């Protein structure tokens, strides 16, 4: 079975400050890891994904994440956030062409 833990339910951060949203996973099979963003009253948009290869993955909107197999983590980072980054962020894991298992989400609030 797979599971995802997002350690922070809410993260407030000032505009232009760096941010890290934490994600830990557990899985007994090969993992594919994803971060999705959900803006208010909208659907889910893929930010980035790790399938294989380089453990540092770059995504859209200046976000990046690092896959750490020994720590079973896939933390999301951005060096300088904007007001427009205010949203809910979901980490998810999959074993392949299988359903995604989502974490509970982290609400990022960027303060001007």
Give the nearest distance from C-beta 2 to other proteins in angstroms.
11
Three-state DSSP at 98 gives coil
Distance CA 24, CA 109 (A): 21
Residues that bind other proteins (CB under 8 A): 32, 34, 36, 42-46, 49, 51, 90, 92, 94, 96-105
Give the nearest distance from C-beta 43 to other proteins in angstroms.
4
Give 22 or 49: the residue with its C-beta nearer to other proteins. 49
Give 82 or 104: the residue with its C-beta nearer to other proteins. 104
Distance CA 91, CA 25 (A): 9
Give the nearest distance from C-beta 80 to other proteins in angstroms.
26
Give φ, ψ of 85 to 5 degrees. Answer: -80, -5
Comparing CA positions, the residue from 35, 13, 12 lying closest to residue 23 is 35
Give 70 or 97: the residue with its C-beta nearer to other proteins. 97
């Amino acid at each position: 079975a797979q599971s995802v833990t997002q350690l922070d339910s809410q993260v407030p951060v000032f505009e232009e400050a760096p941010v890290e949203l934490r994600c830990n996973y557990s899985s007994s099979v090969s993992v594919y890891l994803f971060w999705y963003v959900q803006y208010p009253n909208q659907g889910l948009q893929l930010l980035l994904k790790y399938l294989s290869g380089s453990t540092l993955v770059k995504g859209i909107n200046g976000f990046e994440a690092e896959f750490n197999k020994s720590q079973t983590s896939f933390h999301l980072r951005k060096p300088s956030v904007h007001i427009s980054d205010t949203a809910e962020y979901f980490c998810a894991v999959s074993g392949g062409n299988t359903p995604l298992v989502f974490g509970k989400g982290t609400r990022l609030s960027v303060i001007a």
